[in-house]
Structure 1
Amino acid sequence: MALVSLLKGTTNERNRALKFVYGSNRARLVAMVVANNGSEDEAEDIFQETIIAFYENVIRGVFKGDSAIGTYLYSIARFKWLNQIKKDKVRKSHNIADNQKARIQENALTKYIRNERQEKIQEVLALLGESCKNLLIATIYHNQTMREIVANFNYSNEQVARNKKYKCLNTLRKLLETRPALLKILNPHE
């Protein structure tokens, strides 16, 4: 009871009383938060908030000294820590939901862009003609060697296949030069 009256007393008395309350309860309350998966920083924050709440309760007459100050502080700290855990869980669940939503949207956007690129590639390859289209698909996408190209496309030798590929690539370059928007879609990093 004497401590309560000191807390309501002069500035000097209040400071001495708070210093005593602070020193005699800090270790136990910080340990309680840390033991319940809190960090040292979180424990310090909870302890500071507990001391402030205790002091305000004394000034308002909510705490009259009927119970031990240590027990009262422990219950405030425990209540504050449980509320903090609840807030963190809600925040984390919102963050997880937001992350999943963003990932789904990103995957959908990536798929859309990939499909759009594929359509544009098909469009350009169709403009090249069937033989150039098949030759470029075989060499670029399927990584076939010139020897495989000669066998699959019935060219007389590898040099003929190389010349045909060169002509097809030049035709492709000219097509893309006349369609810069198409080039941007096909090569978005340039």
Structure 2
Amino acid sequence: MNKRTRFLYSDKDYLDGLKTRDSEIITAIYYNHIDLVKNLAVKNSGNEEDAEDLFQDAIIITYKKIVNEELELTSTFRTFFYSICRNLWLQRLSKRPGKVIDIADVEEYVPLSDSQEYEIHDESENRERLYLKHFGKLSSDCQKILKHFAEGKSVREIAQIMRYKSEDYAKSRKYQCKENLKKRIKNDPLYKELLDNEEE
């Protein structure tokens, strides 16, 4: 997408484009909001991979609210989308042991309704159950690596803890383990069921 044209969409364009799953609009939403989501994650005990996952989940939640005619913007789309990401990230941080939940905000946000928070919580719970089911089937080595990365440890620290010969090997093992986990999840019938529910 051309940098000169990617900002020329209105909030209505975003809503209409998401409703029809217009790939150009979804790309525009990504380009215009991913830095915001990355800032949120990175400044609050996360990383850029966490931000990509956050963005994807927030898009799905927003899409579902649009097609179910449950979304009426009382703010800008950017503020609403940030609020969804913020809520999702708060829930994920709350499940990390020893983490103090105090978000350093990078954007204005709007409080979500009880029904919106419940929906986000329900979505997160389903995905977490699926994740944990297949995480437990990984090798002990893979589980340790992914757990260390999730806790925010650096590649150097993980290489030392796992006694790997180099940081590059630690990166390679992390990639292999994550891809293995993704493959297992995508082959699970529950994953396909979740996708079907999202498209209803």
Normalization by structure 1: what TM-score? 0.42
Greater RCO between the two (CA within 8 Å, min separation 6)?
Answer: 2
Of Structure 1 and Structure 2, which has the larger fraction of its residues in helix? 1
Normalization by structure 2: what TM-score? 0.40
- Which structure is larger by alpha-carbon Rg, 1 or 2? 1
